[in-house]
Copies of this chain bind each other. A is one copy, B any other.
Amino acid sequence: MEPRVTDPVRILVVEDESAIQQFVQDALTEGGFAAELTGSGEDALSRFRHDRSKYRALLTDIGIGAGPNGWVLARKIREIDPDFPVVYMTGGHAEEWKSQGVPNSILVEKPFAPAQLVTAISQLLNTGSPSA
């Protein structure tokens, strides 16, 4: 069945601070995305394994309590789906992206504006780009 334009575009969000959870949810909703929130990398991975076709992108904080951090989580998800879009959010770990991030991902540094999240996810979901 052809997908309908009104089906939700669901983003798996991994963030353990409730203030940021709210901020991210508002930003994604404003851009027309559906956010599914969890506070732990382990839980995120288990949701992804259970129904990977449900999600279109991962938006993850780096330091997320117990279990795998955001760097490790993204690597595990890419082992399952090598082209899965990944956006990292971080305050103090931006420089680590060059050693710990996966290729073809985007890092958004805190503090960020809501539009930065929405643009990052949109760029990764869209196919093609202005550079050719």
Query: Once the chains bind, are B4 and A111 in contact (CB under 8 Å)?
Result: yes
* Contact-size category for A: 35 or more
Contacts A5-B23, A118-B119: A126 and B111 contacting too (C-beta < 8 A)? no
Copies of this chain: 6
Name A49-69 residues within 8 Å CB distance of B.
none
Given A5-B19, A100-B75, answer yes or no on A129-B112 (Cβ-Cβ < 8 Å). no
How many Å from the CB of A113 to the closest CB on chain B? 4
Cα A96 to Cα B76 in complex, Å, equals 11
Contact of A129 with B126 at beta-carbon distance under 8 Å, contacts A20-B5, A79-B99, A103-B103 already known: no
Q: A24 → chain B, closest Cβ, in Å? A: 8
The distance in angstroms between the C-alpha atoms of A49 and B47, with both chains bound, is 41
Chain B residues lying within 8 Å of A16, measured Cβ to Cβ, are: none
A115 to B32, Cβ gap below 8 A?
yes
**Chain A residues proximal to chain B, CB less than 8 Å:** 2-9, 19-20, 23, 27, 31-33, 75-76, 78-79, 82-83, 91-92, 94-116, 118-132
What are 14 sample pairs from A and B whose C-beta atoms fall under 8 A apart? Answer: A4-B110, A27-B32, A32-B115, A33-B113, A79-B96, A82-B98, A82-B99, A83-B98, A98-B102, A99-B102, A116-B125, A118-B119, A120-B126, A128-B132
